[in-house]
Chain A
Amino acid sequence: MSTKLVEPQTSNGTAHSKTAAGQDLYKHPDYFLVEELLTDEHRLIRESVQAWVKKEVSPIIEDYAQRAAFPHQLLKGLGEIGAFGPTIPVEYGGSGLDYISYGIIMQELERGDSGIRSTASVQSSLVMYPIYTFGTEEQRKKYLPKLATGEMMGCFGLTEPDHGSNPGGMVTTIKDKGDHYLLNGAKMWISNSPFADIAVVWAKDEEGIIRGLIVERGMEGFTTPEIHGKWSLRASATGELVFDNVKVPKENLLPKSKGLKSPLMCLSSARFGIAWGAIGAASDCYDSALRYSLQREQFGKPIAAFQLTQKKLAEMITEITKAQLLAWRLGVLKNEGRATPAQISMGKRNNVDMALKIAREARQIHGGMGISGEYSIMRHSMNLESVVTYEGTHDIHLLITGMDVTGINAFM
């Protein structure tokens, strides 16, 4: 005789809340009613991007990540929803929104997958932002509208094989040849490089000053080999940029870019988005863990009834709430033009670290299911290993805060 009692919503006898029903049941956690600090417009942005992610990203992303393939078909939709260059003025194809809006978009995209968020971060903060900030009017008009729709995709080449945390040591160079620049060198770990139409590349001129240039696919001597075998950001394409005597027209130089400060300004913009994005990944892990723990029964009760599970859940929602408040405040400061690079650095470091820890705890709560592609947890957890490294490693950000509060440079 076998009858057992279960709640109606789990009548299939399992707790596979997310994928078994083919449905993304995510609900945004807001323990401190942080949304009341936002405008109606911000809430509508969150709802809309969340709805888009549920419709377009959640149903396919696990499969693409498992196959280490980039879902190219999402680019058009990302452009349509407005995920590329949301803060860029409307006349250049952007949406003219504030920075909190940008943060919310990144949060909701990363709730789906850090790789998709990375693509939007790179396009917005590392390609459109420098063209808008350091470019000529012609460059803005030529590139920004197409980048906003996703018809043209870009990448950002700063890191080199031998210069990661220390980009100032870069060895990629440009030489003034009168009617063009001659570009030589190589960039490594470049998101979107395998399919990008243009690359914003940072190289040293004859005086050793770092300058930014727009390199277009098809220029002779320019190749973008893909990096394979990643265990992280598998649904994002990463590659190299190789420049072998590439003749770059002079009009492709970003004239207002000068020195390491220019790429660092781009990174600050992207890091701001990551500080929000990481909350998305963490919230997805928490939301899934909460639902799973209420449905999964062991020893005759839901695992959520055990104190050790509750400790994990309680700590998760606490950390998410703190991260939300930090991101919100950072957003207000950024909107007022007062957010310092060091504050943004702290936001990125704290929130990514928080998300990584939550992903690991959430994975434990899901037990064996936690390592499977039935749930998003393991994917988030692996993705966040990249997020904690790129845009400045965790430790580099500690050194930034350290230098900011002590006044002493401990980098070298």
Chain B
Amino acid sequence: MENVGIVGIGWYGFSTNVHDLSFREMMFEAAQRAFYDAGGMNPREQIDAFISCQEDFWEGISISDEFAPDPVGGSMRPTMTVAGDGLQGLAHGFMLINSGVADVVVVESHAKPSDILTFPEIVELAMDPVYVREAKIPNYHFIAGLDATKFMHRTGVTREDLAEVVIKNRASGLKTGRAPHASMLSKEDVLSQEMIVYPLTRVDVARPVDGAIVVVLASETFARKFNDTPIWITGIGFSTDNSNLELAKLGDAFYLRKASELAFGMAKLESPLKVNGMFVDDRYSYKELQHVEALGVNNVAEKLREGYFHEGSYLPVNPKGGHLAKGYPLEASGLSLVLDAVEYMREGVSSAVVASWRGIPTFTGGVAVLQR
């Protein structure tokens, strides 16, 4: 398989409520920026296929695929939807290029959670109708709570460690222009918060955010036509661990273990410690550590305490603040991490790993290895 280059990326939003633009207008704004980033390309002539990543109940529109083509330049073109996280969309784009059916592919994803009036109820709708929904749990974070306690018990990660992740990520977000939840917090601030579900407080949990992200991918032959320094996807994989909560193995992100096995194998990456940065889903503070562990990093608690994951150290994790600082734009969450990684690499480093998760109640994630 050949590498696929990220030749353009654009975003819009990252605000808790983009009240003045519809989701379609946000898509257009993000697409314009991505095409400008890709050397001012003409999407109507230079793109072979379009992929949008979205889910009906997030949109509040049944068959929301209908609205995918126009705002990104994809009408009367091969346009399709991947009902999954943006990183899965990226993998489908990667496959389209490697199959030979396309040279240039656009991957788009967006989120407008501010339009959803019954957010927890929509999350509940993703749970098994016969078994889990009937349990009538008052708060969907309970799954994260179960997962976190088991993870902490196994690895020795403490509440103080989780607080450290919160402080690190929320502060890192202050450096970027798209982090509505960034702030300077002290350990006392974090530890004195009220619990939502033990061991997670309000500041341990990332919040949904409005946003749209568009990525332009190109084959090895075409990439330099649009960008002198493409960021190469040298390995990509995704995996689902389980779909039923009652059968899932909690306490470990098996989905990322499988996905990273695929992605690292493809990229011939021997050790995750060899990259310059990790951008992992941190919708819950403990998830950052659990995901880093699943990527093959041992003793995450000790490493965190030694400052190993902080910016400027050996292996910066979420140096742009992750979802804790930015919020998570639903299915665009994976692309939000990719966006962070691309910006980080454009500052001069040569490699990064991105690891996404689809959020409660799923056990699905994706991994991409990026190199310059």
Q: Do A and B come from the same complex?
A: no
